[in-house]
Amino acid sequence: MSRIQTVRKSGPAIERRSIDFVPHSERHGKPFGQFTLWFGANMQITAIVTGALAVIFGSDAFWGIIGLFVGNILGGAVMALHAAQGPKLGMPQMISSRAQFGVLGAVIPLVLVIVMYLGFAATGAVLAGQAVEQIIPTGNPAFGVIVFGVLTVIVATMGYKYIHMLGRISTIVGIIGFTYLAIQLFIKHDVGAVMNVGSFAFPTFLLAISLSAGWQLTYGPYVADYSRYLPATTPARKTFLACFSGSVLGSQWSMTLGALFAAIPMAAGHEFLDGQVAFVGELAGGGAVAVLMYIVVVVGKLTVNTLNAYGGYMTILTSVSAFTRQLRFAPWVRFAYVIGFIAVSVIIAIAASDDFVSNFKNFVLLLLMVFIPWSSINLVDFYFSSKEKVDVPALYDPKGRYGAWNVPALLTYVLGVIVQIPFLAQHMYTGPITPLLGGADISWIVGLVITALVYYPVAKRFNHPPAEMIYPADGDISPDPVTVR
């Protein structure tokens, strides 16, 4: 008989949990909270830049927006499948990777996840820092980046409850601000002229798909971190739909604006490439209204940057705990790790703010290459091999069911990265097959499909999932597990 309890309390003001299992008595919230979190996290300036990249690198506005929509749908579906694992497992996303790679083996993709968090935190800090500098002019670009870093530390340290609260605020602020920008865009510019259907170019269309799909897929390694407090009885379908709709709608709205911003010819003032934040201020009309739009930019970036800092902190702890076996960490540990993480991202942001757009495009596509195999393995194992049944206590024990290293899974992961190389189309390297496709980058599709096809028989042969879901007794990782049928 199940010992799962559904509770209605909102949880402690300051989060106490970190990488440990969330007991059923502490579960709370509704799936709609996932919608507002991911909608708000995507109503932000970096998503606008991502949409602009589709046009900047060759697509016309119409086909670029269509391609971005296709990519958001495809990537958003994969991202939401990861999110749906949260209520079932009650733990951070990357801890669950131990079921595929082993307790120690999971550290390998974890290192890449940490790099991803740092990269997105740094690139986000560049744009948010510009907005802070517009609000409080100092003549020193580093000032805005540092102020933004301090705000991120505060929210990320307070934890889960406040992150979701910020998501709700960002949703409201984003809808108001981005609606105003859209109205100004249509009033001041001939949007219809740039939306004329031009000639279809498959390579640039596929680039638009890859940009938005990559945007969504890079949420995969931490999306379940923000659904893990939902009651275990929450239907997976509701969690999936809430995350999927929130992320896809928010990102498509932002990316559509970005594609139009990049396509609009400016007779005077800033082109979008000249300065993304300054462009937004000028479009808003300058003055006090522009300041309000800069605040919208800061709030949106703060939401997603907090996700990066919080996820980065837990990913680092997950890596450390694989070797130390420590399961719980005091609140001051979170504070120390978050400060260290944000300090590094701020240093990167200050040092790498030049040539931002080009670097960001290459960064997103590179991440797509290394996270596609991880995502494919995680989803195939959870939904098709293990059939949503996990031995939670064993995820914390190198001598348990999942062992320390799952070599077949790790080799499959490496294969999933290698098979993409001939199909890459990046600034640093172009694969030999890419020119035959007109320059289109289909590496992520190849990686997703090949990894899944190889991993499924490997998992059936070498993995030994439990017959039923096994939770820790009373929420503690102990030798007395609870089997839930």
Tokens 């031009």 sit on residue: 198
Q: How far apart are CA 419 and CA 407, in angstroms?
A: 18
193 backbone φψ class: left, alpha, beta (φ>0; ψ -120 to 50):
alpha
Q: How far apart are CA 342 and CA 271, in angstroms?
A: 31
Range 73-93 burial, b when 16+ CB lie within 10 A, else e? bbbbebbbbbbbbbbbbbbbb
pLDDT by residue for the chain (485 residues), tens only, comes to 344 444 445 555 678 888 889 998 899 999 999 999 999 999 999 899 899 989 988 888 999 999 999 999 999 999 999 999 999 999 988 889 999 999 999 999 888 888 878 888 888 888 888 899 889 988 887 899 999 999 999 999 888 999 999 999 999 999 999 999 999 999 988 888 888 877 788 888 988 998 899 899 889 888 999 999 999 999 999 999 999 999 999 999 999 999 999 988 754 445 676 778 888 998 998 889 999 999 999 999 999 999 999 988 888 888 888 888 777 777 778 788 899 999 998 888 887 656 665 666 566 667 778 889 999 999 999 999 999 999 999 998 999 999 999 999 999 999 999 999 998 877 667 889 988 877 777 888 899 999 999 999 999 999 889 999 998 875 455 444 444 44
Note the pLDDT of residue 352. Answer: 66
Q: How far apart are CA 206 and CA 163, in angstroms?
A: 34
Q: How far apart are CA 406 and CA 464, in angstroms?
A: 11
User: Is it true that domain 24-484 has CATH number 2.60.40.10?
Assistant: no
Burial class (CB in 10 A: 0-12, 13-18, 19+), 436: exposed
Q: How far apart are CA 441 and CA 203, in angstroms?
A: 7
Note the pLDDT of residue 353. Answer: 54
Give the largest CA-CA distance in the chain. Answer: 71
Q: How far apart are CA 302 and CA 154, in angstroms?
A: 10
3-class SS shares of the chain: helix, strand, coil, % to 5: 70, 0, 30
Note the pLDDT of residue 297. Answer: 93
Nearest to 251 by CA among 381, 327, 364, 417: 364
Beta strands in 21-98 (DSSP E): none
pTM: 0.89
Note the pLDDT of residue 187. Answer: 92
Give the torsion sign (CA, 320, 321, 325, 330): positive
Bridge partners of 484?
Answer: 469
Range 376-395 burial, b when 16+ CB lie within 10 A, else e? bbbbbbbeebbeebbbbbbb
Q: How far apart are CA 99 and CA 190, in angstroms?
A: 54
Residue 232, CB half-sphere, CA atoms under 13 Å: how many?
Answer: 22
Note the pLDDT of residue 8. Answer: 47
Domain boundaries of the chain, sorted by first residue: 24-484
Does residue 484 sit in helix, strand or coil? strand
- Radius of gyration for the chain, computed over Cα atoms and rounded to the nearest angstrom: 22
Note the pLDDT of residue 100. Answer: 95
Structure tokens at 310: 């919080």
* Cβ count near 239 (within 10 Å): 24
Tokens 């001598």 sit on residue: 399
